[in-house]
């Protein structure tokens, strides 16, 4: 590699033109350099190969045996280099490989079945792998363990790109026949109920707690679980109340013995973006998958 680094590989382009044209002036015109520059390059090439390469025969120039033997391999080398530096054309129908997405369970349920259907139709050779979302998503994106993560808003960070995907609005859920449905649905009655809190870590407060604190109220969290998608099923068999994504509440309410209510305390919508790393920002396959996910979310 040290010897290769000392060579001017641009000379191979000139050599190819000279071998094809067998004429210095025409070779120069072929690759858009001056005739003197082509002549100087021919002298350097002769030194490089220890061979005259082109010799005069009457009014024309002929290739030496060494030059004849170089033409085929040189064609192949230059063709490979062009392929190496040419823009990669992405054809979904021919695509293969795996795309790794980290997402909380509710967003997995919301988006990825529809994404999988579109992949099956448009890029059947692509494999989708969903991994558990983690607060270490920055590290996982940078290392390549994950190609795309969905769900946590982030500010401007070097090497990190984001795009809006889902706007999460809120609803409260109780079981059909819950005693609270017989009383006025107020902030006070809501705060007095036993609550189910979805928390990946099992710790901390939620947005509901902060909103109630503004009213001078506190709720009792009677149960904490890390699984958003399972939470409405637990509500259906208990007297707990759950505040969750409205999409999930309405999706699971049908036929599940659940009643979906407007949350009696004001909760701001939350923008849930997809986030990716500089490492895959320009990759045609990943760009295509990100746009497909945006289309799915819009639908």
Express each pLDDT in 65-77 by its tens digit. 999 999 889 989 8
Looking at 31, 66, 85, the residue that finishes a domain is 85
Least Cα distance to 119 among 293, 298, 297 occurs for 293
pLDDT of 127: 93
pLDDT of 297: 92
Give the percent of the chain with pLDDT over 70.
95
If you average pLDDT over residues 194-207, what whole number do you get?
A: 80
State both tokens at 184. Answer: 């006025």
Same domain? 70 vs 120: no
pLDDT of 105: 86
Same domain? 252 vs 276: no
Contact call for residues 170 and 243 (beta carbons, < 8 A): yes
Looking at 55, 85, 115, the residue that finishes a domain is 85
pLDDT of 207: 85
Confidence of residue 172 (pLDDT cuts 50, 70, 90): very high
Chain-wide mean pLDDT for the chain? 89
CA 275 to each of CA 136, 171, 228, 297: distance values in angstroms, whole numbers, following the listed order = 13, 26, 21, 14
CA–CA–CA angle 262, 263, 267 (5° rounding)? 120
Bigger pLDDT: 202 vs 18 = 18
- Contact residues for 227 (Cβ-Cβ < 8 A; gap 6+): 105, 198
If you average pLDDT over residues 113-123, what whole number do you get?
A: 94
Task: For residue 230, give its domain range.
Answer: 170-268
Strands of the sheet with 126-132, listed across from one edge: 126-132, 97-103, 148-150, 270-277, 160-168
Most confident of 47-51, 57-61, 202-206: 47-51
pLDDT of 4 higher than 70:
no
How many residues are given for the chain?
Answer: 299
Q: Is the dihedral of CA 270, 225, 275, 292 positive or negative?
A: negative
CATH assignment of the domain containing 125:
3.40.190.10
What is the distance between the alpha carbons of residues 51 and 53, in angstroms, rounded to a whole number?
5
What is the distance between the alpha carbons of residues 43 and 124, in angstroms, rounded to a whole number?
54
Same domain? 107 vs 156: yes
pLDDT in tens, 121-158: 999 999 999 998 888 888 899 898 999 999 877 767 88
- Which runs of consecutive H residues, i.e. helices, occur in 9-136? 10-21, 24-30, 35-49, 65-85, 105-122
- Which runs of consecutive H residues, i.e. helices, occur in the chain? 2-5, 10-21, 24-30, 35-49, 65-85, 105-122, 137-143, 187-192, 207-213, 231-235, 246-253, 278-281, 284-298
What is the distance between the alpha carbons of residues 288 and 123, in angstroms, rounded to a whole number?
10
pLDDT in tens, 262-288: 999 999 998 889 999 999 999 999 999
Same domain? 78 vs 135: no
Least Cα distance to 283 among 104, 34, 100, 131 occurs for 100
pLDDT of 109 higher than 80:
yes
Same domain? 259 vs 179: yes
Same domain? 127 vs 145: yes
pLDDT in tens, 91-106: 999 999 999 999 988 8
Same domain? 148 vs 204: no
pLDDT of 229: 86
Structural domains in the chain (count): 3
If you average pLDDT over residues 26-43, what whole number do you get?
A: 91
Pair type for strands 170-175 and 258-261: antiparallel
* pTM, to two decimals: 0.70
pLDDT of 253: 82
pLDDT of 1: 58
pLDDT of 2: 60
Residue where the block lists tokens 């063709």: 79
Residue where the block lists tokens 């679980």: 225
Same domain? 32 vs 174: no
If you average pLDDT over residues 176-204, what whole number do you get?
A: 89
Same domain? 234 vs 293: no
pLDDT of 175 higher than 90:
yes
- Contact residues for 288 (Cβ-Cβ < 8 A; gap 6+): 90, 92, 95, 123
Same domain? 277 vs 160: yes
SS3 state at 256? coil
Same domain? 53 vs 110: no
Looking at 41, 64, 85, the residue that finishes a domain is 85
CATH assignment of the domain containing 59:
1.10.10.10
Same domain? 259 vs 183: yes
CA 286 to each of CA 274, 282, 291: distance values in angstroms, whole numbers, following the listed order = 12, 8, 9
pLDDT of 169: 92
């Amino acid at each position: 590699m040290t010897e290769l680094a000392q060579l001017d590989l641009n000379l191979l382009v000139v050599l190819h033109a000279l071998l094809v044209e067998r004429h210095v002036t025409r070779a120069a015109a072929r690759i858009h350099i001056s005739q003197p520059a082509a002549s100087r390059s021919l002298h350097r090439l002769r030194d490089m190969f220890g061979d005259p390469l082109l010799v005069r025969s009457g009014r024309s120039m002929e290739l030496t045996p060494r030059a004849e033997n170089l033409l085929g391999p040189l064609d192949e080398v230059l063709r490979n280099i062009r392929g190496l530096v040419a823009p990669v054309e992405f054809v979904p129908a021919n695509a293969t490989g795996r795309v790794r997405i980290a997402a909380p369970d509710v967003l997995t349920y919301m988006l990825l079945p529809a994404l999988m259907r579109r992949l099956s139709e448009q890029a059947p050779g692509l494999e989708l792998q969903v991994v558990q979302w983690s607060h270490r998503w920055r590290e996982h994106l940078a290392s390549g363990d994950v190609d795309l993560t969905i769900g946590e808003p982030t500010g401007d960070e070097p090497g990190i790109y984001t795009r809006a995907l889902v706007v999460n609005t809120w609803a409260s859920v109780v079981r059909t026949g819950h005693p609270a449905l017989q009383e006025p649905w107020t902030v006070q009655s809501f705060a007095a109920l036993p609550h189910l809190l979805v928390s990946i870590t099992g710790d901390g407060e939620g947005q509901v707690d902060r909103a109630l604190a503004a009213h001078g109220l506190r709720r009792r969290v009677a149960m904490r679980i890390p699984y958003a998608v399972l939470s409405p099923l637990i509500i259906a068999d208990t007297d707990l109340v759950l505040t969750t994504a409205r999409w999930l509440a309405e999706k699971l309410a049908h036929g599940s013995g659940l009643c979906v209510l407007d949350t009696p305390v004001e909760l701001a919508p939350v923008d849930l973006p997809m986030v990716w790393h500089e490492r895959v920002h320009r990759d045609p396959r990943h760009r295509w998958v990100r746009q497909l996910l945006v289309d799915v979310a819009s639908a």
